[in-house]
Chains A and B, each alone.
Chain A
Amino acid sequence: MIKLIGILVVALGFALRFNTLLVVMVAGIATGLVAGMSFNEIMELFGKYFVENRYMTLTVVLMLPIVGLLERYGLRERAETIIRRTKAATAGRVLIFYTAVRQISIAFGVNIGGHAPMVRPLVSPMAEGAARARHGDLPAKTSESIRAHAAAAENIGNFFGEDTVFAVGAVLLIQGTLHAQGYDVGLWALSLWGIPTALVAFGLLVWRARVLDRKIAQSVAKPEAEK
């Protein structure tokens, strides 16, 4: 039971809004100490895993110079212009289209998305641009909500396409874990049973995207009604 102290520290730390890095470090140190490690051993583990997981930060860091450069030369403005010319575009439809492309491509093992390379420079300006083309200037809250939904669309497309059709990381982990326990399951069976959830996730994203479009319309209509 005492081993769960780390989870408690994290829950309390997040609830009381301490600095997140500090909360994580304290949780790790507390968990290590109650498990009988020395302080140096804990630092060693932190260092080891930090270096092993540099790839998580790498893809974001290497993307920033190119995204910054292109934004400086008007990438987001151009993305908005293009979408303004597409009469049928709405913020929600941009997100639906992006999620569909993302789910299908990653199902075939091709990872073309990402928050830094796609969502910030292309998807979110297109979604915001589509909304502005229809409704004119948006309240700050509405435009932040569009951006948050763009990030959500990226995550849904990424998570719920990956385990279908073509076997990748997660499917191999599942197979390995079950194999170690004496259960042999085929990669195809695992991929097949990922499809229903992938379809459900896409359907639900379509619903959320429509709700978003309706909310955008309301947020713009309200101030006018008060006049």
Chain B
Amino acid sequence: MKLLSLEVFYVIAGVFLLLVAAGIAADRAHPKRWGSALFWGLLAVTFLTGKSLPPVVVGYLMLVMVALAATKQMGFADKAGASPAERTASADRLGNWIFLPALLIPGTAVVGTLLLSKLHWGDWWLLDSTNNVTVTSVCLGAVVAVGMALRLTGARSIVPVGEGGRLVETIGWALILPQMLAALGGIFAKAGVGPVVADLAAHALPTQFPFVAVVAYCLGMALFTICMGNAFAAFPVITLGIGLPFIVQQHHGNPAIMAAIGMLSGYCGTLLTPMAANFNLVPAMLLELRDKNAVIKAQVPLALSILAANIGLMYFCVYRF
């Protein structure tokens, strides 16, 4: 028996999204009242009942959500939150105590990962450690932090929903983009897109030269990650299509070095692609940047130079050790 599994937090998130949707529906002044309320309501449904709904129904719900976003039925009023003066006054009143709930989240992540995941009374486990312990611990931290922050600030319990809802609307439909892209990656994999790409690259390049094999593998990892948005999806495809046949079998390279540096080359692709929405686009919305691609642009010099360094490192090490 697991007391806290991810399902518990899906339900909490679902309830929160439902409250946000209800708040929008009740707001007569909202510029896109019904479209926005419906979008967040449907997302709430997938969180509350995702496991029990037939996948095909979820698919059609997604179709509706995409239609709402694409036909510009979503938007939000720039509601005046607390004024800067109010915020500064309360910052001065609370002093450094205000950091406590914020630091509780990473704190719980540490304690949760190292300790809470091992706590149990007989068959009763506190955290479900069969799947991602870190995610569960971070979620636990976020929920506990709300309780602590409410006590600390003396705010009414509706405030986190209202302020959180404002942030939900700031991010907007981009919030579900990571999930949509993961689904697209799954469909690409099912349809067999990967082997076609690996084949094309393998036939187009003179891989009889050891250096070309290394360049093809590292660039292949980065490029395919740019297309898929996920280095984990690219890794098996490019490693089986280019890495193992040419670097290991043809030129007798070291598979451990190849794979370790190859995966990190894939991450360079992640830094460059809007397909990795959770790392690049959602943060741009969250930080209220006007240019949605600003994060990617800041990362271009880093990604390209790390990729070049990877190619150099792999060439000098993979055939030597």
Contact = CB atoms under 8 A, between A and B. Distances in A.
Nearest to A197: B264
B24 interface: no
Nearest to B288: A147
B58 A183 contact: no
A6 B184 contact: yes
A51 B106 contact: no
Nearest to B84: A77
A201 B259 contact: no
B184 A24 contact: yes
Contact of B178 (A56, A62, A174, A192): A56
A186 B87 CA distance: 53
A23 B173 CA distance: 13
B208 interface: no
B298 A148 contact: yes
Contacts of A18: 70
Contacts of A68: 160, 162-167
A58 B9 contact: yes
Nearest to A174: B259
B261 A35 contact: no
Contact of B149 (A70, A145, A194, A200): A70
Contacts of B301: 204, 208
A158 B274 CA distance: 18
A163 B68 CA distance: 40
Interface stretch (B12-20, B29-37, B119-127, B209-217): B12-20
B146 A69 contact: yes
Interface string A149-171: 11110111011100100000011
B178 to A, nearest CB: 4
A131 interface: no
A143 B311 CA distance: 34
A77 B177 contact: no
Given A47-B57, A185-B259, A21 B180 contact: yes
B250 interface: no
A112 interface: yes
Contacts of B95: 78
A163 B231 CA distance: 13
A185 B263 CA distance: 15
Pick the most buried of A43, A54, A110, A159: most chain B CB atoms within 10 A of its CB.
A54
Nearest to A32: B187
A183 B255 contact: yes
Contacts of B263: 163, 170, 173-174
Nearest to A168: B134
Contacts of B260: 163, 171, 174, 189-194
Contacts of A7: 193, 227
List 6 tightest A-B contacts by C-beta distance, closest first: A74-B91, A68-B163, A43-B59, A47-B58, A65-B164, A47-B55
